[in-house]
Chain A
Amino acid sequence: MLTQAPKKPSAASPKAGRPRHAMSGTGGRTAALFLTPFFTIFALAMVAPVIYAMVLSFFAQQKSGLGFGEAKTAFVGLENYLQAMQSDSFVSGIGRLVLYCVLYIPCMVGGALAFALLLDAAAARARKLFQLMVFLPHAVPGVIAALIWAYLYTPGVSPIVSVLETGGISLNFLDNQMVLPSIVNIAVWEWTGYNVIVLFTALQAVPREILEASRVDGAGEIRAAISIKLPLILPAVSVIMLFTVIGTLQLFTEPSIISKATASVTSTWVPNMWAYDAAFNRHNLNQAAAASIIIALMAAVLSWTVTRFSSRNKA
């Protein structure tokens, strides 16, 4: 999807009236002028840091003898990677991230899809207001969303907990079992509305004649939604899946905030927190570098898989 889309514009609008020799000479030079600022920043803020982290990840600070005296930097090969992959906390962090994905992606994408289809079936007048309300959480920064929900999970302050208690249910949202679903809920709250708008926009592009034809053939609203609208907006769904999968690997803000409210979230709860902890609490920068590289690699593999999967799906 992503790799195909940008081709469209350049094909639709042929060379922008450049002189014929633009291919090699002046075109390249002018393009360079326009591209240099971006690629300079790109090199400084993405390429160089990742390369430097890769280099760092192959070294370690080693203390000689009894551990007194200056630490020496020594080349250790893949040692840092092995240590991270063998560390229980890092591996269980990955496990939690997987579980988080398994809960979060179906809930969020399914919820967004359901909501978008409902919105498409709603009266035109109400749509605008619904869209604005559903988008509201996206205007709330992740930190603030996590803070709000942290209070909504805290007994004594939370209206949810007190309503449940009136109903005779006592549920601790922040205990060991519940804290992961609770964090999933924060992310669902933050991202569903954004994706509702994306999917709703895609639904608006579904040709009305097709829907009209299906109605004439006797298909009900639900039937039309499942067998006509849904297949037609699958490309938009796969783009959402791609960005959602990348997004889940970023998981850091919400658990960091929640970790202050409960002991169930440890300082190494997800890989990003593990890397942060390695750098700032364990002062092992080399291991932090290795962990960051592992996370970036996981992102690369995942987004490659999703892209492959969704392009096959479309074919």
Chain B
Amino acid sequence: MTRLADLAKLIRSKNAGPFWVTFDIMFATDTDYERAAAAGVVTKAWVAETYRVPEADIILVAHPNARAIKFSFPRRSVQGDPGESDMYSGQQYAPLMDLEI
């Protein structure tokens, strides 16, 4: 089996403003992108379960021009509130890496 981390050229997470977090999964070739998209492992249901957010709050898009799969949802705690663990949301993508394609 291939892990998503092996297929993607970049997996990243980042704030999209202080109230949202967004995840980008980007591929080097159309073939890799299409393979990942066809595998259908990044779903709203998976995101909802992994990051414990309601499915209705999730934006999930395919962006063939950018060879990317992208999802976003409101942060469960606002950026910088007391108890913040990741000010830029830069390290929230790790669970995506082990998804099997």
Q: Do A and B come from one complex?
A: no
Partner-B contacts on A (CB < 8 A): none
